[in-house]
Amino acid sequence: MSAVARAPRARTDGGSSWWVYAAVAAFALLVAGIFLSAFLNSIASSWFGGWLPDGYTMRWYRFALAEFNLGYVLWVTVVVGVSVTVLSLILGVPAAYVLARHAFPGRAPLLLLLVLPMLVPPITYGIPLAAMLYAAHLGGSLAGVIVVNIVPALPFAVLIMTPFFEQIDPNLERAARTLGAGPVQVFRRVLLPIALPGVLAAGLLILVRAIALFELTFLVSGARSQTLVVALYYTAFAAGNRPAQAIDAMAVVYMVTGLVVLLAALRFINPVNMVIRVRQ
Amino acid sequence: MQRAAGARVGPGTAPRARRGGLRWGPLVPIAPALLVVLVLFVYPFAYGLALSLHPIGALARGGMLANYAAFFGTPWERASIWNTLRLAVPVSALDLALALPLAYRLRRPLPGQRLITALLVIPMTLGTVLLAEGMIEFFGPAGWANKALLALHLVRMPVQFVHNYTGVFISLAIADFPAVFLVLLGYASGVDPRLEQAARTLGAGWWARLRRVTLPLLAPGIAAAAALSFVATFSVFPSAVLVGEPAGSTRVIALAAWQAAYEQFDYPRASAIAMVMAAIELVFVALVLAARNRAYRGPTIGGRG
């Protein structure tokens, strides 16, 4: 396959792509250096001055599990991540479908309104939103954290799913309608099964983002509703009385959580399709 | 009533045939999403704007704009805008400049493509805190970076990379890169390669092709990536605290807003700072979109779908 594909390119290209490998290697080396520094420190019994730690231990993971209530924090993170993803999909799938299928007056301003939350920093609406939630006695609660996280997740869901629906042949829906299916039936029995892979992929991406989103959770969460990022920030911020290795251990747990979801997403979708391109 | 009826009208009815007016039926599915955006985004935003115009405490007698006057009138507060811009703009520019050639080359197959893409995207999962903690160790006085520099005799004393502007810059550049790259990759793979081949056939050199064909076609992607990257870097907060100098050169505007709200409990003043932030952000996005419209308007042919 590659021989056939490459022959014409070699001629037109002038050839070398060594710089791609060099650039990626440099970037990967920097990131790996940073990650390994934290990772090795998290399993180091002590590390003074040498290239490698003086010895290894799992003590800091046990410490983090006990001291930082890691199990509970992970549970909160999963609950928030999954709830935000499911709710954004339920709200976003129908909206994305309409935007993909119907040209109507006011479509452009409507789309702008729906994606606007992605274009302004979360802290700008997060502060008044947090004030509102505290007034409604939702501040600090798990429900409050889920509610605020939907704000940036929903536009993201709409943006990445609109192209999926655009790729589905409208004739399938017309055929179903000719055969007497109502709109809800068409959606449930025809569209959804075809769009399901796309919807699942979108869900994984929303989950990756929801796990990583910091500002809004930070503004709204209380002691019992912190997600991993926020708990981690508080721990790192108040670093003075905690061993750095234990913070690193927690950070590694955080990264592995995100990495598993991202790798799952990369397995299902070509990264090219992970982005936003909406017909204008 | 009318809506439900409209939606249920089946096959035989041509779109918008009845009453010559708009058919609202198809728009019903969008309503819940719209409602959420209105209640959880537009309303809080308006609420914040109103709140910012009602100063409390010492500023209460200063009139409606006292919060804004206090922000712009205090050099320490005002400086947070500059502290943020001098991070957000160069970091976004650097990431765009690095991601653009990579995304453009990777739109065509290359041995090891999947691995390369994965390596470029994975830093997304690092998270600010791991990145910050790792950087403090990696770039610290006894970290690998300084060890390597000393071993190679490039420096005599360990260089200070973290707890200053440089630390936040590096952290942001790494954290922001995957998203910029992904957006550009999506757009680059939507540009029809035959357009460039045509330019080549017509005798255009690589510089002419780049300037007259490739870059204009990628303009929407560059604009989208620049806007998203600026939003992310302009609202920087955790890394400015963890690897920066939050009481000095990296006291960014998001931190100023947070301190007003959660350290001084002055929500109106915090809202005013948040509004200033949003205004700067939207001005930047508008500038980017204007520049993009100057660059090129039209189809890139085909696209993906």
Q: Is the ipTM of this complex over 0.85?
A: no
Give me the domains of chain A, ranges plus CATH numbers: 18-57 (no CATH), 68-274 (1.10.3720.10)
Domain ranges for chain B, please list them: 81-295
> Would you say residue A270 has pLDDT above 70?
no
Confidence of residue A9 (pLDDT cuts 50, 70, 90): very low
- Residue A46 DSSP one-character state: E
CA distance B78 to B70: 9
- Between A147, A259, A273, which is nearest B40 by CB? A147
Side chain identity at residue B49, one-letter code: L
Are A229 and B177 a contacting pair at CB < 8 A?
Answer: no
> Would you say residue A67 has pLDDT above 80?
no
Q: Please report the pLDDT score of residue B44 as a whole number.
A: 92
Confidence of residue A86 (pLDDT cuts 50, 70, 90): very high
Collect all residues of chain B within an 8 Å Cβ-Cβ radius of residue A118.
Answer: 228, 231
Collect all residues of chain A within an 8 Å Cβ-Cβ radius of residue B125.
Answer: 208, 212, 255, 258-259, 261-262
Are B11 and A178 a contacting pair at CB < 8 A?
Answer: yes
Are B36 and A35 a contacting pair at CB < 8 A?
Answer: no
Cβ-based neighbours of A99, under 8 Å, separated by 6 or more = A107, A110, A111, A114, A158, A162, A278, B30
- Between B143, B261, B282, which is nearest A127 by CB? B261
In a mutational test of the A interface, the residue from B37, B180, B206 whose CB has the highest number of chain A CBs within 10 Å is B37
Does CATH number 1.10.3720.10 belong to domain B81-295? yes
Q: Please report the pLDDT score of residue A266 as a whole number.
A: 73
pLDDT in tens, A104-126: 888 888 888 888 888 888 888 98
Residue with the bigger pLDDT between B195 and A149: it is A149
Distances (CA, A) of B156 to A30, B110, B138, B151: 22, 41, 18, 9
Collect all residues of chain B within an 8 Å Cβ-Cβ radius of residue A36.
Answer: 134
| B171 and B243 Cβ atoms separated by less than 8 Å | yes
Q: Please report the pLDDT score of residue A255 as a whole number.
A: 83
| A233 and A32 Cβ atoms separated by less than 8 Å | no
pLDDT in tens, B1-20: 344 443 444 444 444 444 44
What is the rounded average pLDDT for all residues in chain A? 81
**Rounded percentage of chain A residues whose pLDDT exceeds 70:** 89
Q: Which of B217, B214, B227, B212 minimizes the C-alpha distance to B290?
A: B227
Chain-centre distance for alpha carbon A223: 23
pLDDT one digit per residue (tens) for chain B, 305 residues: 344 443 444 444 444 444 445 567 767 888 899 999 999 999 999 999 998 998 888 787 878 889 999 999 999 999 999 999 999 999 999 999 999 999 888 877 788 888 888 888 888 777 778 888 889 889 988 888 888 898 898 888 888 888 899 999 999 999 999 889 988 888 887 777 788 888 888 888 888 887 888 888 888 889 889 988 998 899 888 888 888 888 888 999 999 999 998 888 888 999 999 999 999 998 998 898 888 877 766 655 444 43
Q: Please report the pLDDT score of residue A119 as a whole number.
A: 83
| DSSP-assigned letters across all residues of B205-230 | -HHHHIIIIIHHHHHHHHHHHHHHHH
Cβ-based neighbours of B129, under 8 Å, separated by 6 or more = A229, A232, A233, A236, A247, A251, A254, B238, B242
Collect all residues of chain B within an 8 Å Cβ-Cβ radius of residue A116.
Answer: 37, 41
| B171 and B127 Cβ atoms separated by less than 8 Å | no
